[in-house]
Amino acid sequence: MGIATVARGPALPLIGSTAHYLRNPLRFLEQCAPLADLVALDFIRYQPWLINDPALAEQVLVKNAANFTKDMFARELIPVLGEGLLTSEGAFWKKQRRLIQPAFHRERIAGYATTMVEQTLRALEGWRDGATIDVHHAMMSLTAEIVTRALFGTVAGDLHEIAACLDVVMDRFGDPLYTLLPSLERLPLERNRRFRTVTARLDAIVRGFISERREKGPSGPHDDLLAMLLAARDEDGSSMDDKTVRDEVLVLFLAGHETTALSLSWTLHLLSENPPAARALRAELDAVVGGRTPTVDDFAKLTYAHHVVREAMRLRPPAWALGRVAVAPFELGGHHFDAGTWLWVTPWTLHRNPKHFPEPEQFLPERWEGDLHKRLPKFAYLPFGGGPRVCIGQQFAMMESVLLLATIAQRFELRTAATPVVAPHPSITLRFKHGLHMVATKR
């Protein structure tokens, strides 16, 4: 590409764009994105650049990836989650990624399909015809259960407590006020106290989980991820200490359930708002699966379900923003930037570019027909990020989203309840401001 266009985001004297952003972060970014390929934002303490061109996003995430680290949002997570795949950097990250990657090989993921469907069927047993379901909560419990069984073999008794603690962590980190005013953290607020309590609890629970496994010895019956982490040896023969294993377990647990639960919840809501798409999905399910339980072989055949999941992640990307910070000065789109520059690649805005997605606000699963995802410019659509830090769980998540959607939609029609109003809350992930409640009708 030639020289990238540059603009400044709307700002006021002294406070820059802070008030605009806090009022409605997503609307604010939508206003900024059409201004230029690169838009300078000003939040007093921080001056991020919003990237609105897929080729520039590719430059940052892939071609020049070595010059960037994750941003302060990721670094702020380190005291809680430690240095697992999501938060670590450099040679240490590379070594851990190489070690963990085999757990996500295609054949291995296919083996998780039965667990995914079985757990969904079990969860659905509790849904009564006509009942109002707290769908986001239900999906969080379900995906937490699945990732634990898939990656750690069994379900620890404390699973739901871990999920509840992580919920508090994500809630606190997603608050833009804490990001723009980090000193809030030192105030004697109930929220801060609760945050410190759950951090300590998380540490204790996961360490207990690991020491229990260590006691069973290396020759136990497990061949899951936890067993792999405990058995892994460095070139010098040394193994991971408990802290390193704890960090990877916590990160995989968090990254492995939160985003998938959101993807499914948003999908179910968007289907409720778009009855023709819901009907088309049911027709496909009737034709491909009929009355039997969905299996791994159905996954590839459920084409429309794939379109639905892709379209839902376009409009409501669970990872709505990816941040990077430059290690050294760099060129981008013909412009020079200093070390320390903060860049935002936001799937929320890139997925709304009318050049690539006509009628961008419409939920149109049909747009994915004819392999749109293969025809789009690279990084016009990036729900799983890209480059070396691309989501390790991408295939796991697609299989989980399609199979869970199939199993649920085969048995229930879900209609979003009139209240509470459904609205996105851009925390670290794209959550629900007031939850998601849906009325379930048996099919």
CB of 72 to ligand HEM, least distance (A): 13
- 255 or 417, CB closer to ligand HEM? 255
Residue 56 binds ligand HEM, judged by CB under 6 A: no
Size of the site for ligand HEM (CB under 6 A): 25
Of the candidate spans 15-23, 183-191, 249-257, 372-380, the one that interacts with ligand HEM by CB under 6 A turns out to be: 249-257
- 133 or 147, CB closer to ligand HEM? 147
Residue 51 binds ligand HEM, judged by CB under 6 A: no
User: Could you say which residues in the range 258-317 bind ligand HEM, by CB under 6 A?
Assistant: 259-260, 263
Q: Is 439 helix (H, G, I), strand (E, B) or coil?
A: strand
Would you say 77 and 48 are in contact if contact means Cβ atoms under 8 Å apart? no
Binding mask 89-128 for ligand HEM (x = CB under 6 A): --------x-------------------------------
The C-alpha atoms of residue 284 and residue 302 are separated, in whole angstroms, by 7
CB of 88 to ligand HEM, least distance (A): 8
With CA atoms as reference, report the closest residue to 135 among 440, 442, 443. 440
For the stretch 121-125, contacts whose Cβ atoms lie closer than 8 Å and that sit 24 or more positions apart, written own/partner, are 121/293, 121/407, 124/407, 124/408, 124/411, 124/412
For the CA atoms of the chain, what is the radius of gyration? Answer: 22
Would you say 410 and 285 are in contact if contact means Cβ atoms under 8 Å apart? yes
CB of 100 to ligand HEM, least distance (A): 7
With CA atoms as reference, report the closest residue to 102 among 218, 213, 228. 228
Q: What is the 3-state secondary structure (H, E, C) of 129-186?
A: CCCEEEHHHHHHHHHHHHHHHHHHCCCCCCHHHHHHHHHHHHHHHCCHHHHHCHHHHH
Residue 244 binds ligand HEM, judged by CB under 6 A: no
Of the candidate spans 18-26, 157-165, 204-212, 381-389, the one that interacts with ligand HEM by CB under 6 A turns out to be: 381-389
Of the candidate spans 169-177, 178-186, 250-258, 416-424, the one that interacts with ligand HEM by CB under 6 A turns out to be: 250-258
Which two three-digit tokens encode residue 382?
């990036």
Which two three-digit tokens encode residue 441?
């009708």
Name the site residues for ligand HEM (rule: CB under 6 A). Answer: 70, 85-86, 97, 147, 251-252, 255-256, 259-260, 263, 318-319, 322, 383-385, 389, 391-393, 396-397, 401
